[in-house]
């Protein structure tokens, strides 16, 4: 009898985690809690942060997050700001965890909590569809 009572909640949990949720449209807050550039060039490295936000919006695996954070640091190096890149890298490694209920966590485009896991084919379709819509809107 006890096993039967546990079966339904267990099945609901398994099936709810196996299905794709709805991806929210992409938004970026720039360099979350950090300046987007210098006083004389206020958006100097904003492009690095928006690109980083785009990968965080999608979420995915822990390896994907590490790659995204390393790409942010590299973008800042290439922009001539390796020290800022090192500081931002440390900040995103700590503050970007999918465990935090923040608007800039890994996988923030999905409902919280969304931990590390590969995107399903349905989720990848949503990412591609919303990305194409953003490209079209950006060209208008």
Which tens digit of pLDDT belongs to each residue from 39-56?
Answer: 999 999 999 999 999 999
- How much is the average pLDDT of 76-98? 97
Task: Tell me which residue has tokens 């995103």.
Answer: 92
Q: At what angle do helices 82-95 and 62-78 cross, to 10 degrees?
A: 160
Half-sphere exposure of 16 (CA within 13 A, CB side): 9
d(CA 49, CA 42): 13
pLDDT band for position 96 (50/70/90)?
A: very high
């Amino acid at each position: 009898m006890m096993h039967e009572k546990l079966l339904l909640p267990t099945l609901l949990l398994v099936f709810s985690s196996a299905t794709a949720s709805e991806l929210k449209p992409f938004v970026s807050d720039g360099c979350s809690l950090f300046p987007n550039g210098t006083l004389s060039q206020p958006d100097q490295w904003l492009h690095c942060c928006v690109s980083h936000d785009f990968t965080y919006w999608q979420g995915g695996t822990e390896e994907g997050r590490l790659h995204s954070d390393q790409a942010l640091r590299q973008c800042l190096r290439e922009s001539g700001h390796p020290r800022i890149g090192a500081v931002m890298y440390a900040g995103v490694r700590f503050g970007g965890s999918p465990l935090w209920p923040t608007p800039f966590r890994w996988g923030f485009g999905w409902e919280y909590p969304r931990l590390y896991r590969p995107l399903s084919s349905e989720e990848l379709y949503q990412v591609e569809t919303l990305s194409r819509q953003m490209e079209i809107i950006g060209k208008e």
